[in-house]
Structure 1
């Protein structure tokens, strides 16, 4: 069974047993979460799309905070002495999909 689910404004293609990184969720490690915003379900070749989808994706929080790679934004104007350096690391949550019901 395959599903496309919307989590924190992004769409993810998931199957039972998948482990993926999603934008930071406010939940603790070991918590069970449900995602009700399912956009598409493929059940043995039968597609359900839009309002016909009556599925819920259940997942468990594996790691509540995972930091992404460091991203550096550097601005400079030549001959002016202007240099600006900003950096950030995006926060993610690691989840494991338990079932699609």
Structure 2
């Protein structure tokens, strides 16, 4: 069984047993999370799309806060002495899909 789920504004293709990194969601390690905004379900070749989908995806939080790679934005204007450096690290949550029901 395969599903397309919308989590924090992004779409993810999931199956039972998958482990993936999603944008940071509230919760602690070991908590159960349900995602009810399922866009598509493929059940042995039978596709269900749109408002007909009545499926809920259940997941467990494996690690509650994972930092992504550092991204640096550097601005400079030549011969003016202007330099500006900003950086950030995006926060993610690692989840494991338990069931699609």
- Structure 2 gaps of 5+ residues are none
Describe the superposition over 1:36-93 as per-residue Cα deviations: whole angstroms up to 9, x where unpaired.
Answer: 0000000000000001101000000000000000101000000100000001100000
How many angstroms apart in 2 are the aligned matches of 1:63 and 1:12? 18
**SS of match in other structure, 1:29:** coil
The yes-or-no answer on 1:53 pairing with 2:53 is: yes
1:20 aligns with 20
State the Cα distance separating 1:25 from its structure 2 match.
0.4
TM-score using structure 2 length: 0.99
Question: Where in structure 1 do 4 or more consecutive aligned residues deviate above 4 Å?
Answer: none
- Structure 1 gaps of 5+ residues are none
1:92 aligns with 92
1:78 aligns with 78
**SS of match in other structure, 2:92:** strand
TM-score using structure 1 length: 0.99
Q: Aligned pairs, how many? A: 101
Q: CA RMSD in A?
A: 0.3
